[in-house]
Amino acid sequence: MDSVALDTFVAVHRAGGFSQAADALGRSQPAISRRIALLEDELGAALFERAAGGVVLSQAGRELMPHALRALAALKDAGEAVRALQASPAGPLSVAVVGTLAGADLTKVLRRFVKAWPSVKLSLSTGTSAEISATVRRGDATIGLRYHDDPSPDLALRRLRAERLTVVCAREHRFAGKRVRDVGALREEHWFAFPGADVWRDASAVNIFAQFVTRGIAEIDWTPVDSLTAQKRLIEAGFGIALVPERGVREELAAKTLSVIHVGGLSAANPVVAITRKDGYLSAAARTLLDDLAASF
């Protein structure tokens, strides 16, 4: 089993088929098929099963996948570590963050970093907390910023500050600027929240539902919206309310396009966590950025 075989295996899974993987890797479809066949012979198990429009992982393939991703990430780390010894601090550094964290605080940190490390090519991507963890685990990002801890043994965690949340509404809302007894008074409102595989898996939405469940309210009327900007525009238009990061609505509150609903007994916050691959290689530039993120957040 070698890195080319594992890379081919991962490519077929991500592409959903042998022909698609051949296009992605710039190789012929027979070459892809032979490589997978040799890997299956070596392991003594079929790694893929036929499905409509392509292939899916078999049980053996699902077992192999996390090990393959870790191995490929480790090889990437090894190459970067050696290259770092041969040149001045340069090259790419990718950071993946939950979209609601990509605000003024992060901008200040990145501006300082770019000024201090002009030879480093910095890239930024966004996603949900689960997507950030997956991006870091497979080596597509060196540093991730997400909400709440990730128990994965493949990740090292660095806890930062908690981000306070507040309920916001349109300025014409009946509760705009007013205080309500508790969140139960808002059970009839239409809510916006970030989507996930289900409401409990998205870390940025879980606080909303937890507040109601602890008061015996199992369900609320809500719509998943995957962008904070989109949520704010919908709220401004009077279509609903949301529990959002205070820092994310400062401009709208100052401009009076949004208002706060003061909720008695509500003390909600999303803890922010920086993640890296456990025992993964961190360049001097990456370590500097990680330290600055910890100090600034």
Which CATH class for the 87-161+271-296 domain? alpha beta
Length in residues, the chain: 297
pLDDT in single tens digits along all 297 residues of the chain:
788 889 899 999 999 999 988 998 999 999 999 989 999 999 999 999 988 878 999 999 999 999 999 888 888 877 776 666 545 555 789 999 988 888 778 999 999 999 999 989 999 999 888 899 999 998 899 999 998 899 899 999 999 988 889 999 999 999 999 999 999 999 999 999 887 644 334 555 677 778 888 888 888 888 988 888 999 999 999 999 999 988 889 899 999 999 999 999 888 888 899 999 998 888 889 999 999 999 887
CA 25 – CA 276 distance, rounded (Å): 27
Q: Which amino acid is at 179?
A: R
- The Cα-based distances of 266 to 41, 260, 263 in angstroms read 58, 13, 6
| Fold of the 3-81 domain | Arc Repressor Mutant, subunit A (1.10.10)
Taking CB atoms within 8 Å and a gap of at least 24, the contacts of 201-204 are 201/130, 202/128, 202/129, 202/130, 203/128, 203/129, 203/146, 203/147, 203/148, 203/270, 204/98, 204/100, 204/128, 204/129, 204/147, 204/270
Residue 102: the pLDDT is 83
Residue 203: the pLDDT is 54
CA 227 – CA 276 distance, rounded (Å): 25
- The Cα-based distances of 167 to 103, 185, 187 in angstroms read 19, 12, 13
Residue 199: the pLDDT is 39
pTM value? 0.64
Residue 289: the pLDDT is 95
Indicate the domain borders of the chain: 3-81, 87-161+271-296, 164-268
In the numeric block, the tokens 């290259």 are attached to: 83
Residue 205: the pLDDT is 65
Decide whether 87-161+271-296 matches 164-268 in CATH topology: yes
Largest CA distance in the chain: 68
**203, 229 in Cβ contact below 8 A?**
no
Query: Homologous superfamily of 164-268 in CATH?
Result: Periplasmic binding protein-like II (3.40.190.10)
Residue 195: the pLDDT is 76
